[in-house]
């Protein structure tokens, strides 16, 4: 999603390739191959990826 949003669940995300930025609670983090993110419910986040970025995520 390219706009800031929240989830009602925990989420674990792994970036397998690509680059960009991930904004979590209004702080920016560089996204690169091998990045792992853990998001808690209600955290505001936004993806600013290059088009080639790939990965996977699991809600729980």
Render pLDDT for 39-53 as a digit per residue (tens, 0 to 9).
999 999 998 988 888
- pLDDT for res 12: 95
Contact 51, 1 (CB under 8 A): no
Residue 42 CB partners (closer than 8 Å, separation 6+)? 6, 7, 8
- pLDDT for res 52: 84
pTM: 0.80
**Between 59 and 1, whose confidence is greater?**
59
Bridge partners of 12, per DSSP, are 38, 58
Render pLDDT for 10-47 as a digit per residue (tens, 0 to 9).
999 999 999 999 999 999 999 999 999 999 999 999 98
């Amino acid at each position: 999603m390219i706009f800031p949003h929240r989830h009602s669940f925990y989420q674990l995300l792994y970036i397998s390739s690509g680059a960009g930025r991930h904004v979590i609670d209004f702080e920016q983090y560089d996204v690169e191959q091998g990045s792992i993110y853990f998001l808690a419910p209600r955290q505001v986040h936004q993806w600013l990826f290059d088009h080639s970025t790939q990965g996977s995520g699991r809600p729980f």
